[in-house]
Amino acid sequence: MKVMKFGGTSVGKPERMYQVADLVTRDDERKIVVLSALSGTTNSLVDISNSLADSSRNLAKQKIDKLEAHYKQFINELLKTEEARQKALQLISEHFEFLNIILKISFSEALNKDILAQGELMSTKLFSAYLTEIGIDHELLPALEFMQIDAFEEPLIGNIKVKLSQLLKTHNDKKIFITQGYICRNSKGEVDNLKRGGSDYSASLIAAAITANVCEIWTDIDGMHNNDPRVVEKTVAIEQMSFDEAAELAYFGAKILHPASIWPAQQFNIPVKLLNTMEPKAIGTLITEEAGSVGVKAVAAKDGIVAIKIKSSRMLLAYGFLRKIFEVFEKYRTPIDMITTSEVAVSLTIDNKDNLEDILQELEAFGTVEIDENQTIISVVGNEIAQTPQVMMRLFDSIDNIPVRMVSYGGSRHNVSLLIPAAYKTQTLQVLNKGLFGL
Protein backbone atom coordinates (compact mmCIF):
# COMPACT_ATOMS: atom_id res chain seq x y z
CA MET A 1 0.00 0.00 0.00
CA LYS A 2 1.11 3.57 -0.47
CA VAL A 3 0.32 6.95 1.01
CA MET A 4 -0.22 10.01 -1.21
CA LYS A 5 -0.52 13.36 0.56
CA PHE A 6 -1.72 16.46 -1.28
CA GLY A 7 -1.17 19.91 0.22
CA GLY A 8 -3.40 22.99 0.18
CA THR A 9 -2.42 24.32 -3.24
CA SER A 10 -2.78 20.84 -4.73
CA VAL A 11 -6.49 20.85 -3.83
CA GLY A 12 -7.02 24.63 -3.78
CA LYS A 13 -8.75 24.91 -7.17
CA PRO A 14 -11.22 22.63 -8.94
CA GLU A 15 -8.77 21.95 -11.78
CA ARG A 16 -6.11 20.94 -9.23
CA MET A 17 -8.57 18.48 -7.69
CA TYR A 18 -9.05 16.98 -11.16
CA GLN A 19 -5.29 16.55 -11.40
CA VAL A 20 -5.23 14.90 -7.96
CA ALA A 21 -7.98 12.52 -9.11
CA ASP A 22 -5.83 11.66 -12.17
CA LEU A 23 -2.81 11.00 -9.99
CA VAL A 24 -4.61 8.75 -7.51
CA THR A 25 -6.31 6.71 -10.22
CA ARG A 26 -3.40 6.23 -12.59
CA ASP A 27 -2.30 2.93 -11.02
CA ASP A 28 -4.09 0.06 -9.36
CA GLU A 29 -2.19 0.07 -6.09
CA ARG A 30 -4.17 0.25 -2.84
CA LYS A 31 -3.61 3.70 -1.31
CA ILE A 32 -4.49 6.14 1.43
CA VAL A 33 -4.86 9.67 0.08
CA VAL A 34 -4.25 12.31 2.76
CA LEU A 35 -5.61 15.78 2.01
CA SER A 36 -4.96 19.22 3.45
CA ALA A 37 -7.58 21.93 3.56
CA LEU A 38 -8.02 24.02 0.38
CA SER A 39 -5.26 26.66 0.30
CA GLY A 40 -6.12 29.67 2.41
CA THR A 41 -8.83 27.89 4.41
CA THR A 42 -6.81 27.15 7.55
CA ASN A 43 -5.57 30.75 7.58
CA SER A 44 -9.19 31.95 7.33
CA LEU A 45 -10.23 29.61 10.15
CA VAL A 46 -7.37 30.93 12.30
CA ASP A 47 -8.64 34.45 11.56
CA ILE A 48 -12.21 33.51 12.46
CA SER A 49 -11.04 31.92 15.67
CA ASN A 50 -8.94 34.97 16.57
CA SER A 51 -11.91 37.27 15.98
CA LEU A 52 -14.02 35.11 18.28
CA ALA A 53 -11.30 35.11 20.91
CA ASP A 54 -11.34 38.94 20.72
CA SER A 55 -15.13 38.92 21.01
CA SER A 56 -15.38 40.50 17.53
CA ARG A 57 -18.40 38.44 16.58
CA ASN A 58 -19.50 40.61 13.67
CA LEU A 59 -16.10 40.39 12.11
CA ALA A 60 -16.06 36.61 12.63
CA LYS A 61 -19.49 36.37 10.98
CA GLN A 62 -18.27 38.35 7.94
CA LYS A 63 -15.28 36.05 7.58
CA ILE A 64 -17.46 32.94 7.87
CA ASP A 65 -19.81 34.25 5.17
CA LYS A 66 -16.88 35.06 2.88
CA LEU A 67 -15.46 31.56 3.32
CA GLU A 68 -18.87 30.01 2.68
CA ALA A 69 -19.26 31.98 -0.56
CA HIS A 70 -15.85 30.67 -1.66
CA TYR A 71 -16.91 27.07 -1.03
CA LYS A 72 -20.21 27.52 -2.88
CA GLN A 73 -18.35 28.86 -5.89
CA PHE A 74 -15.80 26.03 -5.65
CA ILE A 75 -18.57 23.40 -5.66
CA ASN A 76 -20.26 24.96 -8.67
CA GLU A 77 -17.02 24.76 -10.62
CA LEU A 78 -15.91 21.35 -9.30
CA LEU A 79 -19.06 19.37 -9.95
CA LYS A 80 -21.02 19.15 -13.17
CA THR A 81 -24.37 17.58 -12.33
CA GLU A 82 -27.00 19.47 -10.37
CA GLU A 83 -27.57 16.45 -8.15
CA ALA A 84 -23.90 16.21 -7.15
CA ARG A 85 -23.76 19.96 -6.52
CA GLN A 86 -26.80 19.90 -4.27
CA LYS A 87 -25.37 17.01 -2.29
CA ALA A 88 -22.03 18.72 -1.86
CA LEU A 89 -23.67 22.01 -0.86
CA GLN A 90 -25.61 20.10 1.75
CA LEU A 91 -22.40 18.48 3.09
CA ILE A 92 -20.57 21.79 3.30
CA SER A 93 -23.51 23.66 4.83
CA GLU A 94 -23.23 21.43 7.93
CA HIS A 95 -19.77 22.88 8.54
CA PHE A 96 -20.91 26.46 8.07
CA GLU A 97 -23.88 25.84 10.34
CA PHE A 98 -21.39 24.67 12.94
CA LEU A 99 -19.30 27.83 12.47
CA ASN A 100 -22.43 29.96 12.81
CA ILE A 101 -23.48 28.16 15.99
CA ILE A 102 -20.10 28.73 17.62
CA LEU A 103 -20.62 32.47 17.16
CA LYS A 104 -23.03 32.13 20.03
CA ILE A 105 -20.82 30.02 22.29
CA SER A 106 -18.11 31.35 24.58
CA PHE A 107 -14.64 30.85 23.15
CA SER A 108 -12.31 28.15 24.48
CA GLU A 109 -9.14 26.41 23.32
CA ALA A 110 -11.13 23.24 22.57
CA LEU A 111 -13.50 25.25 20.39
CA ASN A 112 -10.53 26.78 18.58
CA LYS A 113 -9.34 23.27 17.63
CA ASP A 114 -12.83 22.38 16.43
CA ILE A 115 -12.85 25.45 14.20
CA LEU A 116 -9.43 24.66 12.73
CA ALA A 117 -10.52 21.10 11.89
CA GLN A 118 -13.26 22.24 9.50
CA GLY A 119 -10.86 22.79 6.57
CA GLU A 120 -9.68 19.21 6.20
CA LEU A 121 -13.16 17.85 6.94
CA MET A 122 -14.52 19.90 4.02
CA SER A 123 -11.71 19.29 1.50
CA THR A 124 -11.97 15.50 1.89
CA LYS A 125 -15.76 15.59 1.51
CA LEU A 126 -15.45 17.68 -1.65
CA PHE A 127 -12.83 15.42 -3.18
CA SER A 128 -14.93 12.39 -2.30
CA ALA A 129 -17.96 14.04 -3.93
CA TYR A 130 -15.94 14.58 -7.10
CA LEU A 131 -14.69 10.97 -7.18
CA THR A 132 -18.27 9.80 -6.70
CA GLU A 133 -19.45 12.00 -9.55
CA ILE A 134 -16.89 10.54 -11.95
CA GLY A 135 -17.62 7.00 -10.73
CA ILE A 136 -14.40 6.20 -8.85
CA ASP A 137 -14.95 3.71 -6.06
CA HIS A 138 -13.37 4.87 -2.80
CA GLU A 139 -13.88 5.13 0.95
CA LEU A 140 -13.65 8.18 3.20
CA LEU A 141 -11.78 7.30 6.42
CA PRO A 142 -12.37 9.75 9.27
CA ALA A 143 -8.96 10.67 10.70
CA LEU A 144 -10.67 11.45 14.00
CA GLU A 145 -11.35 7.73 14.36
CA PHE A 146 -7.71 6.67 14.26
CA MET A 147 -5.28 9.59 14.54
CA GLN A 148 -4.41 10.11 18.20
CA ILE A 149 -1.94 12.10 20.31
CA ASP A 150 -1.13 11.76 24.00
CA ALA A 151 -1.11 14.36 26.77
CA PHE A 152 2.34 15.56 25.57
CA GLU A 153 1.06 15.91 22.00
CA GLU A 154 3.06 12.88 20.87
CA PRO A 155 1.36 10.57 18.38
CA LEU A 156 0.30 7.16 19.65
CA ILE A 157 1.63 5.10 16.76
CA GLY A 158 0.53 1.78 18.31
CA ASN A 159 -3.08 2.93 18.67
CA ILE A 160 -3.09 4.52 15.23
CA LYS A 161 -1.88 1.25 13.75
CA VAL A 162 -4.52 -0.89 15.47
CA LYS A 163 -7.42 1.44 14.69
CA LEU A 164 -6.39 2.09 11.10
CA SER A 165 -5.91 -1.61 10.30
CA GLN A 166 -9.35 -2.35 11.71
CA LEU A 167 -10.86 0.32 9.51
CA LEU A 168 -9.01 -0.94 6.45
CA LYS A 169 -10.11 -4.50 7.15
CA THR A 170 -13.77 -3.53 7.20
CA HIS A 171 -13.30 -2.17 3.68
CA ASN A 172 -11.27 -5.01 2.23
CA ASP A 173 -12.81 -4.52 -1.20
CA LYS A 174 -11.71 -0.88 -1.55
CA LYS A 175 -8.55 0.38 -3.20
CA ILE A 176 -8.69 4.14 -2.67
CA PHE A 177 -9.08 5.61 0.81
CA ILE A 178 -9.35 9.33 1.45
CA THR A 179 -8.56 10.85 4.83
CA GLN A 180 -7.87 14.19 6.49
CA GLY A 181 -4.37 15.38 7.23
CA TYR A 182 -3.61 17.61 10.22
CA ILE A 183 -6.52 16.66 12.49
CA CYS A 184 -6.48 14.16 15.34
CA ARG A 185 -7.89 13.47 18.78
CA ASN A 186 -6.00 14.33 21.95
CA SER A 187 -5.74 12.47 25.25
CA LYS A 188 -9.07 13.95 26.37
CA GLY A 189 -10.78 12.66 23.26
CA GLU A 190 -11.21 16.21 21.94
CA VAL A 191 -10.56 17.29 18.36
CA ASP A 192 -6.99 18.53 18.07
CA ASN A 193 -4.35 18.99 15.37
CA LEU A 194 -0.71 18.29 14.54
CA LYS A 195 0.16 22.03 14.27
CA ARG A 196 0.38 24.13 11.12
CA GLY A 197 1.59 22.19 8.11
CA GLY A 198 0.74 19.00 9.99
CA SER A 199 -0.72 17.05 7.06
CA ASP A 200 2.80 15.93 6.12
CA TYR A 201 3.13 14.53 9.62
CA SER A 202 -0.25 12.77 9.27
CA ALA A 203 0.94 11.19 6.03
CA SER A 204 4.17 9.96 7.54
CA LEU A 205 2.39 8.58 10.63
CA ILE A 206 -0.13 6.78 8.44
CA ALA A 207 2.66 5.41 6.24
CA ALA A 208 4.41 4.13 9.38
CA ALA A 209 1.18 2.64 10.77
CA ILE A 210 0.42 0.63 7.63
CA THR A 211 4.10 0.03 6.72
CA ALA A 212 3.46 1.61 3.34
CA ASN A 213 5.96 0.98 0.57
CA VAL A 214 6.23 4.72 -0.08
CA CYS A 215 4.97 7.98 1.38
CA GLU A 216 4.44 10.49 -1.42
CA ILE A 217 4.16 14.16 -0.47
CA TRP A 218 2.61 16.00 -3.43
CA THR A 219 3.02 19.77 -3.27
CA ASP A 220 3.51 22.89 -5.41
CA ILE A 221 7.24 22.54 -6.04
CA ASP A 222 9.41 19.84 -7.63
CA GLY A 223 11.01 18.58 -4.42
CA MET A 224 13.32 19.82 -1.70
CA HIS A 225 15.43 22.70 -3.03
CA ASN A 226 18.96 23.60 -2.02
CA ASN A 227 17.75 26.89 -0.49
CA ASP A 228 14.51 28.61 0.47
CA PRO A 229 12.81 29.52 -2.84
CA ARG A 230 10.67 32.12 -1.05
CA VAL A 231 13.80 34.09 -0.19
CA VAL A 232 16.43 33.21 -2.77
CA GLU A 233 15.93 33.59 -6.51
CA LYS A 234 17.94 30.72 -8.01
CA THR A 235 17.38 27.39 -6.28
CA VAL A 236 17.52 23.83 -7.56
CA ALA A 237 15.76 20.60 -6.59
CA ILE A 238 17.75 17.87 -4.84
CA GLU A 239 17.21 14.37 -6.27
CA GLN A 240 18.15 12.32 -3.25
CA MET A 241 18.79 12.83 0.44
CA SER A 242 18.86 10.84 3.66
CA PHE A 243 16.21 10.85 6.37
CA ASP A 244 18.74 12.60 8.63
CA GLU A 245 19.35 15.37 6.13
CA ALA A 246 15.64 15.84 5.40
CA ALA A 247 14.73 15.82 9.10
CA GLU A 248 17.35 18.46 9.80
CA LEU A 249 16.10 20.69 6.96
CA ALA A 250 12.46 20.25 7.94
CA TYR A 251 13.20 21.03 11.56
CA PHE A 252 15.32 24.03 10.66
CA GLY A 253 12.79 25.75 8.44
CA ALA A 254 12.35 24.08 5.03
CA LYS A 255 8.59 24.64 4.88
CA ILE A 256 8.04 21.92 2.30
CA LEU A 257 8.01 19.41 5.19
CA HIS A 258 6.45 19.68 8.65
CA PRO A 259 9.30 19.68 11.22
CA ALA A 260 8.34 16.29 12.66
CA SER A 261 7.32 14.59 9.44
CA ILE A 262 10.44 12.52 8.84
CA TRP A 263 10.88 10.46 11.99
CA PRO A 264 7.87 8.13 11.55
CA ALA A 265 8.97 7.24 8.02
CA GLN A 266 12.57 6.87 9.16
CA GLN A 267 11.66 4.64 12.08
CA PHE A 268 9.82 2.25 9.76
CA ASN A 269 12.25 2.75 6.88
CA ILE A 270 9.61 3.98 4.44
CA PRO A 271 10.91 5.98 1.48
CA VAL A 272 9.46 9.48 1.26
CA LYS A 273 9.07 11.16 -2.13
CA LEU A 274 8.48 14.87 -2.57
CA LEU A 275 6.60 15.43 -5.82
CA ASN A 276 4.97 18.28 -7.73
CA THR A 277 1.21 18.01 -8.40
CA MET A 278 1.51 20.67 -11.09
CA GLU A 279 4.43 18.91 -12.77
CA PRO A 280 3.97 15.19 -12.05
CA LYS A 281 6.75 14.16 -14.46
CA ALA A 282 9.47 16.03 -12.52
CA ILE A 283 11.78 13.65 -10.65
CA GLY A 284 11.24 15.28 -7.26
CA THR A 285 13.23 14.28 -4.18
CA LEU A 286 13.69 10.76 -2.86
CA ILE A 287 14.35 10.50 0.88
CA THR A 288 15.69 7.19 2.20
CA GLU A 289 18.35 5.99 4.62
CA GLU A 290 21.01 6.71 1.96
CA ALA A 291 22.19 10.24 1.31
CA GLY A 292 23.24 9.41 -2.24
CA SER A 293 26.23 11.76 -2.16
CA VAL A 294 28.54 13.60 0.20
CA GLY A 295 28.98 17.31 0.72
CA VAL A 296 26.71 20.27 1.25
CA LYS A 297 23.16 19.82 -0.02
CA ALA A 298 20.95 22.59 1.26
CA VAL A 299 20.50 25.50 3.62
CA ALA A 300 17.39 26.43 5.56
CA ALA A 301 16.42 29.14 8.03
CA LYS A 302 14.34 28.99 11.17
CA ASP A 303 12.99 32.26 12.55
CA GLY A 304 11.71 33.30 15.95
CA ILE A 305 14.71 32.07 17.90
CA VAL A 306 15.78 33.38 21.32
CA ALA A 307 19.41 33.08 22.41
CA ILE A 308 20.07 32.78 26.13
CA LYS A 309 23.52 33.27 27.63
CA ILE A 310 24.32 32.15 31.17
CA LYS A 311 27.61 33.51 32.42
CA SER A 312 29.20 32.35 35.64
CA SER A 313 32.70 32.08 37.02
CA ARG A 314 31.39 29.08 38.97
CA MET A 315 31.30 27.23 35.71
CA LEU A 316 35.09 27.29 35.61
CA LEU A 317 36.32 23.74 36.17
CA ALA A 318 32.91 22.76 37.54
CA TYR A 319 31.04 19.62 36.63
CA GLY A 320 27.27 19.29 36.76
CA PHE A 321 26.78 22.91 35.67
CA LEU A 322 25.26 22.04 32.30
CA ARG A 323 23.04 19.38 33.88
CA LYS A 324 21.50 21.96 36.20
CA ILE A 325 20.86 24.29 33.28
CA PHE A 326 19.34 21.55 31.13
CA GLU A 327 17.07 20.54 34.00
CA VAL A 328 15.43 23.96 33.89
CA PHE A 329 14.55 23.50 30.21
CA GLU A 330 13.40 19.96 30.85
CA LYS A 331 11.12 21.16 33.65
CA TYR A 332 9.42 23.57 31.24
CA ARG A 333 9.40 21.06 28.35
CA THR A 334 11.32 23.49 26.18
CA PRO A 335 13.64 21.96 23.57
CA ILE A 336 17.08 23.50 23.08
CA ASP A 337 18.13 23.81 19.44
CA MET A 338 21.73 25.07 19.52
CA ILE A 339 24.31 25.18 22.26
CA THR A 340 27.83 26.58 22.50
CA THR A 341 30.05 26.78 25.53
CA SER A 342 33.14 28.57 26.73
CA GLU A 343 34.90 28.15 30.05
CA VAL A 344 32.76 30.78 31.77
CA ALA A 345 29.56 30.92 29.77
CA VAL A 346 27.07 28.83 27.91
CA SER A 347 24.80 30.10 25.14
CA LEU A 348 21.81 28.19 23.91
CA THR A 349 18.75 28.79 21.77
CA ILE A 350 15.07 27.98 22.02
CA ASP A 351 12.12 28.69 19.75
CA ASN A 352 9.33 28.02 22.22
CA LYS A 353 8.82 31.17 24.28
CA ASP A 354 5.80 29.93 26.22
CA ASN A 355 7.73 29.64 29.51
CA LEU A 356 10.54 32.09 28.81
CA GLU A 357 9.96 34.26 31.90
CA ASP A 358 9.97 31.27 34.28
CA ILE A 359 13.01 29.76 32.60
CA LEU A 360 14.98 33.01 32.86
CA GLN A 361 14.04 33.42 36.49
CA GLU A 362 15.28 29.94 37.38
CA LEU A 363 18.46 30.33 35.35
CA GLU A 364 19.39 33.43 37.32
CA ALA A 365 20.31 31.14 40.22
CA PHE A 366 23.30 29.95 38.12
CA GLY A 367 24.79 33.24 36.93
CA THR A 368 24.15 36.36 34.88
CA VAL A 369 21.54 35.74 32.22
CA GLU A 370 21.29 37.69 28.97
CA ILE A 371 18.88 37.15 26.12
CA ASP A 372 18.82 38.10 22.43
CA GLU A 373 15.44 37.86 20.75
CA ASN A 374 14.63 37.93 17.01
CA GLN A 375 17.38 35.57 16.03
CA THR A 376 17.44 33.14 13.10
CA ILE A 377 19.16 29.78 12.84
CA ILE A 378 20.73 29.12 9.47
CA SER A 379 21.27 25.44 9.03
CA VAL A 380 23.72 24.13 6.45
CA VAL A 381 22.96 20.49 5.77
CA GLY A 382 24.73 17.73 3.88
CA ASN A 383 26.06 14.24 4.36
CA GLU A 384 29.58 14.31 5.90
CA ILE A 385 29.55 18.03 5.42
CA ALA A 386 32.30 18.72 7.90
CA GLN A 387 34.61 16.13 6.32
CA THR A 388 34.12 17.45 2.82
CA PRO A 389 37.06 19.56 1.69
CA GLN A 390 36.54 23.30 1.33
CA VAL A 391 32.95 23.42 2.62
CA MET A 392 33.91 25.13 5.88
CA MET A 393 36.23 27.54 4.16
CA ARG A 394 33.58 28.50 1.58
CA LEU A 395 30.96 28.76 4.27
CA PHE A 396 32.93 31.17 6.45
CA ASP A 397 34.25 33.14 3.48
CA SER A 398 30.66 33.75 2.35
CA ILE A 399 29.44 35.07 5.68
CA ASP A 400 32.34 37.41 6.25
CA ASN A 401 30.00 40.41 6.62
CA ILE A 402 27.35 38.74 8.73
CA PRO A 403 27.38 39.27 12.52
CA VAL A 404 27.26 35.61 13.54
CA ARG A 405 26.17 35.17 17.18
CA MET A 406 26.76 31.41 17.55
CA VAL A 407 28.19 28.54 15.49
CA SER A 408 27.40 24.90 16.07
CA TYR A 409 29.65 22.42 14.33
CA GLY A 410 30.35 18.75 14.94
CA GLY A 411 27.12 17.84 16.72
CA SER A 412 26.32 15.59 13.81
CA ARG A 413 28.11 14.72 10.59
CA HIS A 414 25.52 16.41 8.45
CA ASN A 415 24.89 19.84 9.92
CA VAL A 416 26.52 23.17 10.66
CA SER A 417 24.29 25.80 12.24
CA LEU A 418 24.78 29.54 12.55
CA LEU A 419 22.80 31.92 14.70
CA ILE A 420 22.33 35.37 13.21
CA PRO A 421 20.06 38.38 13.87
CA ALA A 422 16.82 37.85 11.92
CA ALA A 423 17.44 41.04 9.93
CA TYR A 424 20.37 39.29 8.18
CA LYS A 425 18.44 36.21 7.10
CA THR A 426 17.86 37.09 3.44
CA GLN A 427 21.40 38.33 2.95
CA THR A 428 22.85 35.21 4.60
CA LEU A 429 20.78 32.78 2.52
CA GLN A 430 21.77 34.69 -0.61
CA VAL A 431 25.50 34.79 0.07
CA LEU A 432 25.47 31.10 1.00
CA ASN A 433 23.66 30.29 -2.25
CA LYS A 434 26.51 31.86 -4.12
CA GLY A 435 29.34 30.71 -1.91
CA LEU A 436 28.27 27.11 -1.38
CA PHE A 437 26.32 26.31 -4.53
CA GLY A 438 27.65 28.85 -7.06
CA LEU A 439 24.04 29.92 -7.78
Q: Which amino acid, residue 168? A: L
Q: What is the DSSP string of 327-350?
A: HHHHHTT-----EEE-SSEEEEEE
Q: Which of residues 171-210 bind Mg ion (CB under 5 A)?
A: 197
- The CA radius of gyration of the chain, in Å to the nearest whole number, is 23
Q: Which residues, in sequence order, are bridge partners of residue 409?
A: 416
259 touching ligand ASP, by CB under 6 A: no
Closest of 112, 110, 74 to residue 91, by C-alpha: 74
Q: Which of residues 360-419 bind ligand ADP (CB under 6 A)?
A: none
289 contact partners, CB below 8 Å, separation of at least 6: 242, 243, 266, 269
CB 5 within 8 A of CB 257: no
Q: How far apart are CA 260 and CA 200, in angstroms?
A: 9
* Residue 408, number of CB atoms within 10 A of its CB: 20
Task: Output the smallest distance, CB 217 to Mg ion, in A.
Answer: 8
Angle, alpha carbons 373-374-375 (nearest 5°): 95
183 touching ligand ADP, by CB under 6 A: no
The partner in contact with residue 220, picked from Mg ion, ligand ASP, ligand ADP, none with C-beta cut-offs of 5 to 8 angstroms by kind, is: ligand ADP
Candidates 21, 164, 224, 265; binder of ligand ADP (CB under 6 A) is 224
CB 435 within 8 A of CB 398: yes
- The residue sitting closest to ligand ADP, measured at its beta carbon, is 7
> What three-state secondary structure class fits 213?
coil
181 touching ligand ADP, by CB under 6 A: no
> What three-state secondary structure class fits 377?
strand
12 touching Mg ion, by CB under 5 A: no
155 touching ligand ASP, by CB under 6 A: no
From 48-56, 81-89, 254-262, 305-313, span contacting ligand ADP (CB under 6 A): 254-262
The partner in contact with residue 9, picked from Mg ion, ligand ASP, ligand ADP, none with C-beta cut-offs of 5 to 8 angstroms by kind, is: ligand ADP
Task: Output the smallest distance, CB 46 to ligand ASP, in A.
Answer: 9
7 touching ligand ADP, by CB under 6 A: yes
Candidates 155, 181, 223, 259; binder of ligand ASP (CB under 6 A) is 181
Q: How far apart are CA 158 and CA 105, in angstroms?
A: 36
179 touching ligand ASP, by CB under 6 A: no
Contact pattern from residue 111 through residue 130 relative to ligand ASP, giving x for each residue in contact according to CB under 6 A and a dash for the rest: --------x-----------
Candidates 71, 107, 130, 182; binder of ligand ASP (CB under 6 A) is 182
Where does this chain bind ligand ADP (CB under 6 A)?
7-10, 36, 197, 219-221, 224-225, 228-230, 254-256, 298, 300
Where does this chain bind ligand ASP (CB under 6 A)?
7-8, 36-37, 42, 119, 181-182, 196-199
